[in-house]
Chain A
Amino acid sequence: MSSLWPRLEPLLARVRKPGRYIGCEDGALQPRHGRDTVSWLLAYPDVYEVGLPNQGLQILYEILNERPDAAAERTYAPWVDLEALMRERGIPLFSVDTHRAALEFDILAFNLSSELVYTNVLNMIDLAGFDVHARRRSPDDPLVIIGGHAAFNPEPMANFIDVAVLGEGEEVIGEITEVVREWKASGKTEGSRAGVLRELSHIPGVYVPSLYEVVYESSTGPIREVRPLYADVPEVVTKRTVSDLGQWDYPRRPLVPLTEVVHDRLAVEVFRGCTRGCRFCQAGMITRPVRERPADQVRSMVSNGLRRTGYNEVSLTSLSTADFSGIEDVVSSLVPDPTACGAPTISLPSLRVDAFTVGLAAKVASGRRSGLTFAPEAGTWRLRTVINKLITEEDLYGAVESAFASGWSRAKLYFLTGLPTETDIDTKGIVDLAAGCVEIGRRYTNRASVTVSVGGFVPKPHTPFQWFGQNSVDELGRKIRLVRDAASRTKGVNVKWHDPSASLAEGIASRGDRRIGAVIERVWRSGGVFQEWSEYFDVRRWQEAMAAEGLSPDDYVTRHRRKEDVLAWSHLSAGLHQDFLWQDWQSSLQEFGLEDCRWTPCYDCGVCTGDGLEHIVASPIPPAGGSQGTGQDLARVGAVPVDVRLSRTPT
């Protein structure tokens, strides 16, 4: 049980940003390790600057360290310069808290925010010094657990992990700790690893891939069936959900990094879940229902957090912060903060697109008003009804008008391309919208400009678009060029875009099955780490790995799935009825928008009823503003049934 610090220390002056590796943060806890204590190494498979602000990891770190039978430390992916030196000298993956080797922990638990980090998970397991293949691990090796949004389809990672946890971790980590504690007490004897995994599979929300068999029609053909190997192993694993966010006012001791990170401010989560019902949005689908934090608790978490951390900026986080009941009251009470810390800056990420929201943003904006971001996601109202992002042109123009009138000079608009039923009219509509925004802006300032950011759409599991065949790289490239060409003829509109080939890799990993594991391993072994970093991404690694495994990107990515297809994640549930998702997919193709279910009758998506949960929303009426499926005239929607464009589906 020794610290690796003395071996690490001489290397740090030679690598970039060595402050990433020292720990010592304000808010770091003193883990108490011991024979009766289950030790968790909480890992974020990207660099420290990206991983440290992650709220999920901070919350679990604190909850675990409060338990007398658990100790938790943290680790992040070392950047390639340090990794090379570590491998050269045989220094294994270490925790930043006490610089303890990863192998000395009982559990190595990864928080996965995106699919492109999968190769980094393999790299970190390998750097820790044990086998990347779960079946070859020895009894003493740490149990590898994954959680987070990109663990909702853990099948591509099935061969490398021992356990996947679906949903929110606050409660389930305690239950896992108790089972592992018993196992540790019994001495982790030869053969006992299978026993503890079996035991873990009985915990709701815990999925143990090795206890399921996947049967294929042929070696590269579709899945016939996924079945548990034993009668006591659940046929379907359903996600965990914390029913009352008010009972979990974490993090209470936010981690304040000593070196600069991506979100360098206090974060207070105001609610979880979102029922706006955007059909492309996996986060909105898998985090239902909406559970608001009591406004008083938000206020006290902000005020205690600022005092404790010394930050003068707080971000009120959620999937759509303007939807928080009484957001105006909360913001008003925070602006003149009475503490000695002075007036904090408030940032409101993920805002709806309407004038009300801009008013809110204007209230919190201090100093220079440079840019405001909106996400209309699609270029025409027709396509926005398909994806259920119910923002009218009036909503957007109203928001933009309000922004320019309040002193902003730049707007950023986020769009997806390659959406279901998208035609070139929709794609070009992106630039038409942006041009309309510039025209409004020029009435206020000659400097008015609009930046359009275009990303290729990647369909995600547990959403109504999980059946949709993703656009090919060429098609996405063509659409991005359409946008760029149109923008080049439009004054004041700039375009940024994501590499469409990265969308291919993300598509492979997002809806992959267990056979994709070998592809991920090949990409990793050929040097493909940090795949979210453009300087380390090369789509050829993915294409060559697919070819080497005899797998076709078309099968996994661009093919439309049929209703009867067994999806790789069909035995895993985010609480949403498969029927609801299919119906919503059909409604989408009929350009039929759905209102937000917080303030309308239930659509029976399955989450509330299945889990005995309900929305916790303080306000019985929809928030002011009226965009996105509240107070709009949706009669315009779906009035004229159109041909179901699924007819392109191969049969």
Chain B
Amino acid sequence: MSAGLLKYRLAYSKLGKVRFLGHRDVARLWERTLRKAGVPVAVSTGFTPRARISFGLALPTGAESLIELLDFFVDPNMVQASGSAPSVDEWGERIAHALPEGFTSTHLHEIGSGDISLQESVTASSWILLVDHPDVVEAVDRVRSSDVVHLERERKGERHVDDIRPGILDINILDMNMLDMNMLDMNMLDMNMAQIDELEHLADVWPGDPLRSGSGTAISALLTTSGRGIRPTELVEALLAESEPWDHLTRVLRTQQWIDQDGQRIDVLSASMARPRVCA
């Protein structure tokens, strides 16, 4: 099916109001966007030909992300027929132009057509959650020091109590005061400058500035996505022992996706970026 096709990986962010779009909506949006941008995406054969695009891990409706991924195939023959040589830079520009507000393409590069699928390769995601609840700091401490964290959730139509602790690879409270400190404070506190830079960058790109607006306690978490995986909403349910996570979860942002390579955790783009080309 994929013989002779070129495969590309595209990374994008989804921020602001569009976080309320579901995974299927976003998939349809990308089909339209790639058509608008004139990218000659290969189509499947059969009764109902579909564009050959495969999407990465579904982002829960309501969550935002700095890095979402999709792979698509291009038929080199179609590129020749349309009269223009494949130009990743040009596609990137046209994609950036064709995307609706809230979506920004961040990387586009060719990858090996035999590369493992996105769904299978990503093993963990980093998240920032804003949780508005008086007990949340205590709850995070409790989870950090526990060996077992129970959560009742549905599987194949039945309720099961799972231990989700092994899937919580890391969890921390983020100190938002760092954002407003001056240089002197930082030196005194001997803080990690890279971490502060990252946080400041985050505060700048996150629409509505939720980190500074005080709409909750910021938690960073690294959650497993392989196997059953843990959704950020499930983490909140487990933290607060409440069944309506969105009553307290004011914002949630995926900041990174990770894959395992030779026992090491590396971010998904570094792993696949044989020829990095940044667009938009």
Contacts and interface: CB of A to CB of B under 8 A. Distances in A.
A75 to B, nearest CB: 16
Contacts of B29: 258
B98 A310 contact: yes
A19 B22 contact: yes
Nearest to B249: A13
A341 interface: yes
Given A258-B29, A310-B32, A368-B48, A22 B17 contact: yes
A367 B18 contact: no
Interface string A12-23: 111001110111
A308 B33 CA distance: 10
A312 to B, nearest CB: 6
A40 to B, nearest CB: 22
A24 interface: yes
Contact of A312 (B21, B25, B35, B250): B35
A183 interface: no
Given A23-B17, A259-B22, A340-B82, A14 B244 contact: yes
B49 to A, nearest CB: 7
A19 B246 contact: no
Interface of B: 17-18, 20-22, 24-25, 28-29, 31-36, 38, 40, 43, 47-49, 61-62, 82, 98, 100-102, 244, 246-247, 249-250
Given A256-B32, A259-B25, A367-B47, A13 B18 contact: no
A310 B95 CA distance: 11
- Of residues A13, A21, A24, A367, which shows the largest number of chain B Cβ atoms within 10 Å of its Cβ? A13
A24 B98 CA distance: 13
Given A13-B20, A258-B18, A260-B28, A341 B35 contact: yes
A511 to B, nearest CB: 41
30 contacts: A10-B250, A12-B20, A13-B246, A14-B246, A17-B22, A19-B20, A19-B22, A19-B61, A21-B20, A22-B18, A23-B17, A24-B18, A24-B100, A24-B101, A258-B18, A259-B22, A259-B25, A260-B24, A260-B25, A307-B36, A310-B31, A310-B34, A310-B35, A311-B32, A340-B35, A341-B36, A341-B38, A342-B43, A367-B47, A368-B47
The residue in A17, A21, A264 that gathers the most chain B C-beta atoms within 10 A of its C-beta is A17
Interface in A250-275: 256, 258-260, 264
Interface residues of A, number: 30
B61 A13 contact: yes
B219 to A, nearest CB: 17
A260 B61 CA distance: 14
Given A12-B62, A256-B32, A260-B28, A19 B21 contact: yes
Given A18-B61, A367-B48, 15 more contacts: A13-B61, A13-B62, A18-B20, A21-B20, A24-B18, A258-B25, A258-B29, A258-B100, A259-B22, A264-B28, A309-B32, A310-B36, A312-B35, A340-B82, A368-B48
A340 to B, nearest CB: 4
Given A13-B249, A258-B25, A310 B20 contact: no
A364 to B, nearest CB: 15
Interface of A: 5, 10, 12-14, 17-19, 21-26, 256, 258-260, 264, 307-312, 340-342, 367-368
A10 B38 CA distance: 37
Contacts of A256: 32
Contact of A367 (B40, B49, B250): B49
A25 B22 contact: no
Contacts of A310: 31-36, 98
- Candidate in A19, A21, A341 with the most chain B CB atoms within 10 angstroms: A19
A217 to B, nearest CB: 55
A22 B20 contact: yes
A637 to B, nearest CB: 43
A635 to B, nearest CB: 46
A25 to B, nearest CB: 7
B236 to A, nearest CB: 11
A265 to B, nearest CB: 11
Contacts of A258: 18, 21, 25, 29, 100
B14 to A, nearest CB: 11
A340 B40 contact: yes
Contact of A24 (B17, B47, B61, B247): B17
A18 B62 contact: yes
A25 B246 contact: no
Given A12-B62, A311-B32, A368-B47, A259 B21 contact: yes
Scoring A23, A25, A259, A341 by chain B CB atoms within 10 A of each residue's CB, the highest score goes to A259
